[in-house]
A and B are shown apart, each in its own frame.
Chain A
Amino acid sequence: MSFHMKNRHARRALQAAVVPLFALLASVAHADWGGLNMPEGVTILSKKIYSLHMLILWICVAIAVVVFGVMIYSIVKFRKSQGAQADKTLVHSTKVEIVWTVIPIAILVFMAVPIAKTLIEIEDMGNVDLNIKVTGYQWKWEYEYLGQNVSFFSTLKRDSDAARQLGSGIDPKSVEHYLLDVDNHLVVPAGQKIRFLLTAQDVIHAWWVPAFGMKKDAIPGYVNEIWVQVDADKLGTYRGQCAELCGRDHGFMPIVVDVVSPADFDKWLREKQAEKKLADVAPNATAVTASAAPAAIQQ
């Protein structure tokens, strides 16, 4: 009798707790939840990395289903309240212990092969079409197209910067690409193998565009490298952020990359080189061309 009473109370309490929770979930359900999973990305390597991620994820899910299944079965089946008697002789079994040691080893060996293959590919820096040096500063990025006489800084866009100040009163949702927009975009050609040489001026930063599949640290005194080859048909703008804590404004040095066709890239590069020449000749003109340039690229 009292048992039923208790149950009813428990159920009502549970309802009281769960109903508002679902109401809350429903109220935000219409919003953009972003991805639940890693993006597949747009480069040769990002897709391989994504498939490794999915492989290990499904292996984990499979193991979880088996192990949690046995645990849940034990919890349900071997309750003292259901009259379960403990079998105190069950304390050791060499056979079982060998099995559950060997199976994980087999899984690891199975995983090691694709991991090694992908790593070897990631480390292959041969046949590069374009070299870009990336330098991290507190708190901006500098891009230098090696051998092309083009370099520029890339910092958080002003509207984001205004909105992110403490107590600014500006709603971040009203700012387009809040915290993920910069004044000068990095521009790269699709379908070509680009090598990024990463270093830093002051403290350690990390350069990361999730759609490109990987990040690497930019360390003072070191030059790290990664390569990226975006699929020829994946033109567009990709965004990322500094991924290594680098001080007060670590959260405010985004990365924006425009991936364009090789022809458009050549055109852009020539314009940039012309600007640079003009600036070298007449230093006073720098300010004018620098502020005009980003507007031209965006459109």
Chain B
Amino acid sequence: MAHEHTADHTHDDHDHGPAHGWRRWVYATNHKDIGTMYLIFACVMFFVGGLMAMVIRAELFKPGLQLVDPQFFNSMTTMHALIMIFGAVMPAWTGLANWMIPMQVGAPDMALPRLNNFSFWILPFAFTLLLGTLFVPSGAPAGGWTLYPPLSLQGGDSFPMAIFAIHLMGASSILGSINVVVTIMNMRAPGVGLLNMPLFCWSWLITAYLLIATMPVLAGAVTMLLTDHFFGTSFFSASGGGDPVMFQHIFWFFGHPEVYILILPAFGIMSEIIPTFSRKPLFGYDAMVYATAAIAFLSFIVWAHHMFTVGMPLAGQLFFTLSTMMISIPTGVKVFNWTATMWKGSLTFETPMLFALSFLFLFSIGGFSGLMLAVVPADFQYHDTYFVVAHFHYVLVPGAIFAIMAGVYYWLPKWTGRMYDEKLGKLHFWLSTIFVNVLFFPQHFLGLAGMPRRIPDYSTQFADWNMVSSIGAFGFGLSQLLFPYIIWKCVKAGEKSGARSWEGAHGLEWELSSPPPYHSWTEPPSREVIAKGVEH
């Protein structure tokens, strides 16, 4: 109640309010406006990529080809992956970083506001280019998001378009990451130390370094594809003295850190939400930071586990199986720490906490299947089957996506000054959690029984579980429509929320009014405020 007064501040109280009309968004340099644009963009792409997933699951509903040509089916799997990874999850993380990092470190804005504008506005162009491939005569890219040559080189007009789109997305990510690193390194208010800033900042700092390190590698790999296709080079063509397997090594040297780029910020969000709703400080803060750093380091030396079947020397297989299994140690530490945070806590189960708990269980299931996949001889069976599809969807949907949703529900009252409808939020949670399991759990069975991935049609022995999985997919897809509705309803007509929207909330962002002033911390927070918000 004491915070009610600050909450009633309007933007007019500040010197630099937002510009009006389209200028506010096109010329945006404010971290909140840009964060909002990132989040809306990610949400749109989530539904575009989701629609493609619906096409995939509709075709796989029963054996036989009923709806689409196999080539179009392959385009759908390829585009679904590219859009969900680069269009939905990564921009959503950048959006959350934009909104939260300045508020959490006690800064007025991101360090490089114009760069921030640029890195966002690249994205609509990149995805117009990528989605435009659906309308060229050759059809959209259909060689898988991994773009393995020689198959990807068979692509028509869509091939250079997709590659330029990837270049643009990479540039956007690098610029966004530089901004995050500079902000965290230089804009922390006095008293906000590296080892007492929120874990969301930590996990994003490490993610940003991963992005800066690996995006140029991807850019190099796809550029070599481009010159192989158009300028007669043969980096990856065996007949010209090149090596198709080399592409896979380079791609996964990017690709594995990319996996952690998608999930590390989720770890950060969990470390914010679980303590709040346990009303207890995070267990083992230092260990969490070191574990995140260890995961990031290991992510650079495990890439070949994505390609155990290409034929590697025995020593190589042993090295990559052991390094991969080692990842389960720091990841285990994180899961144990979150569990220990709940231990002897005082738990309540609002929507953000429910999504966080779902993450905890279901991400762990994805972790277990990941440990299984690390066992090379068994991987010779699992590789390129639906078991792998189940694995990475468990870590990405109830992993990354649920964490994003948890984060949005958690900070929505802070951003808007209004509370979302808790009943609808819980409905969204239950539908999502039930259907995501109906959708993906049977895919473990399909993979073990021998169904390869990326096929548009299958033999009749796989019919039943595919039908169950498709029903789960339609249910999951439909329930997601609740999410934008709940947000819209909250923004329009939600109940007013105080500065500290959650009883157990802890961190500098909760020391600002809800909604926060346009330039978050125009003056650095005082020692007392920092003591309340940051120190533990």
Contact of B154 among A68, A111, A167, A203 (CB under 8 A): A203
Chain B residues with CB under 8 A of A292: none
Structural contact, A243 and B380, CB atoms closer than 8 A: no
Structural contact, B280 and A115, CB atoms closer than 8 A: no
Chain B residues with CB under 8 A of A23: none
Nearest-neighbour CB distance to chain B for A196, whole angstroms, equals 12
Known: A36-B445, A92-B283. A251 touches B455 (CB 8 A): yes
Known: A34-B465, A178-B459, A216-B380. A68 touches B361 (CB 8 A): yes
Interface residues of B in 507-534 (CB under 8 A from A): none
Contact of B322 among A38, A49, A108, A217 (CB under 8 A): A108
In the complex, whether A22 has a CB less than 8 A from a CB of chain B is: no
Chain B residues with CB under 8 A of A39: 449-450
Structural contact, B283 and A245, CB atoms closer than 8 A: no
Question: Which of B285, B286, B450, B465: most chain A CB closer than 10 A?
Answer: B450
Structural contact, A97 and B448, CB atoms closer than 8 A: no
Structural contact, B457 and A251, CB atoms closer than 8 A: yes
Structural contact, B448 and A36, CB atoms closer than 8 A: yes
Structural contact, B244 and A215, CB atoms closer than 8 A: no
Question: Which of A79, A112, A243: most chain B CB closer than 10 A?
Answer: A243
In the complex, whether A4 has a CB less than 8 A from a CB of chain B is: no
User: How far, in angstroms, from A251 to B357 measured CA to CA in the complex?
Assistant: 38
Give the interface size class of chain B.
35 or more
Known: A204-B244, A250-B74. A34 touches B461 (CB 8 A): yes
Structural contact, B378 and A49, CB atoms closer than 8 A: yes
Contact of B325 among A53, A108, A202, A241 (CB under 8 A): A108
In the complex, whether B150 has a CB less than 8 A from a CB of chain A is: yes
Type the 1/0 row for A162-201, where 1 means its CB is closer than 8 Å to any CB of B.
0111111011110001111000000000000000000000
Chain B residues with CB under 8 A of A215: 309, 380-381, 383-384
In the complex, whether B143 has a CB less than 8 A from a CB of chain A is: yes
In the complex, whether B462 has a CB less than 8 A from a CB of chain A is: yes
Chain B residues with CB under 8 A of A202: 150
Structural contact, B333 and A243, CB atoms closer than 8 A: no
In the complex, whether B71 has a CB less than 8 A from a CB of chain A is: yes
Structural contact, B357 and A75, CB atoms closer than 8 A: yes
User: How far, in angstroms, from A31 to B310 measured CA to CA in the complex?
Assistant: 37
In the complex, whether A283 has a CB less than 8 A from a CB of chain B is: no
Question: Which of B328, B345, B372, B467: most chain A CB closer than 10 A?
Answer: B345
Interface residues of A in 1-59 (CB under 8 A from B): 24, 28, 31-39, 45, 48-49, 52-53, 56-57, 59
Structural contact, A173 and B279, CB atoms closer than 8 A: no
In the complex, whether B91 has a CB less than 8 A from a CB of chain A is: no
User: How far, in angstroms, from A283 to B281 measured CA to CA in the complex?
Assistant: 82
Type the 1/0 row for B322-354, where 1 means its CB is closer than 8 Å to any CB of A.
100110110011011001101111111000000
Chain B residues with CB under 8 A of A293: none
Nearest-neighbour CB distance to chain B for A125, whole angstroms, equals 11
Question: Which of B243, B317, B384: most chain A CB closer than 10 A?
Answer: B384
In the complex, whether B233 has a CB less than 8 A from a CB of chain A is: no
Type the 1/0 row for B480-492, where 1 means its CB is closer than 8 Å to any CB of A.
0000000000000
In the complex, whether A288 has a CB less than 8 A from a CB of chain B is: no
Contact of A115 among B285, B377, B446, B454 (CB under 8 A): B377
Residue of A nearest to B343 (CB): A74
User: How far, in angstroms, from A131 to B365 measured CA to CA in the complex?
Assistant: 41
The B contact surface, by secondary structure, is helix
Structural contact, B464 and A251, CB atoms closer than 8 A: no
Structural contact, A57 and B322, CB atoms closer than 8 A: no
Residue of B nearest to A91 (CB): B281
Contact of A104 among B67, B142, B154, B329 (CB under 8 A): B329
Contact of B457 among A71, A164, A240 (CB under 8 A): A164
User: How far, in angstroms, from A285 to B303 measured CA to CA in the complex?
Assistant: 52
The stretch of A143-151, A205-213, A259-267, A274-282 in contact with B is: A205-213
In the complex, whether B284 has a CB less than 8 A from a CB of chain A is: yes
Structural contact, A35 and B69, CB atoms closer than 8 A: no
Known: A52-B377, A119-B377. A90 touches B344 (CB 8 A): yes
Structural contact, B144 and A245, CB atoms closer than 8 A: yes
In the complex, whether B232 has a CB less than 8 A from a CB of chain A is: no
Chain A residues with CB under 8 A of B279: 80, 86, 88
The stretch of B58-66, B171-179, B192-200 in contact with A is: B58-66
In the complex, whether B70 has a CB less than 8 A from a CB of chain A is: yes
Nearest-neighbour CB distance to chain A for B377, whole angstroms, equals 4
Residue of B nearest to A210 (CB): B450
Interface residues of A in 97-115 (CB under 8 A from B): 97, 100-101, 104-105, 108, 111-112, 115
Contact of B314 among A81, A119, A217 (CB under 8 A): A119
Contact of A78 among B65, B347, B384, B536 (CB under 8 A): B347
Structural contact, A78 and B448, CB atoms closer than 8 A: no
Structural contact, B309 and A86, CB atoms closer than 8 A: no
In the complex, whether B368 has a CB less than 8 A from a CB of chain A is: yes
Structural contact, B381 and A179, CB atoms closer than 8 A: no
Nearest-neighbour CB distance to chain B for A96, whole angstroms, equals 7
Contact of A80 among B143, B347, B449 (CB under 8 A): B347
Known: A33-B465, A108-B322, A206-B309. A71 touches B381 (CB 8 A): no
Nearest-neighbour CB distance to chain B for A128, whole angstroms, equals 17
User: How far, in angstroms, from A105 to B330 measured CA to CA in the complex?
Assistant: 10
Nearest-neighbour CB distance to chain A for B71, whole angstroms, equals 5
Q: Can you report 5 A-B residue pairs in the complex whose CB atoms are below 8 A from each other?
A: A53-B378, A79-B348, A86-B280, A97-B287, A104-B328
A→B interface (CB under 8 Å): 24, 28, 31-39, 45, 48-49, 52-53, 56-57, 59-60, 63-64, 67-68, 70-71, 74-75, 78-81, 84-88, 90-93, 96-97, 100-101, 104-105, 108, 111-112, 115-116, 118-120, 122-123, 163-168, 170-173, 177-180, 202-204, 206, 208, 210, 213-217, 219-222, 224-225, 240-252
Q: Which 6 pairs show the lowest CB-CB distances between chains A and B?
A: A221-B238, A251-B455, A214-B380, A224-B311, A60-B368, A210-B450
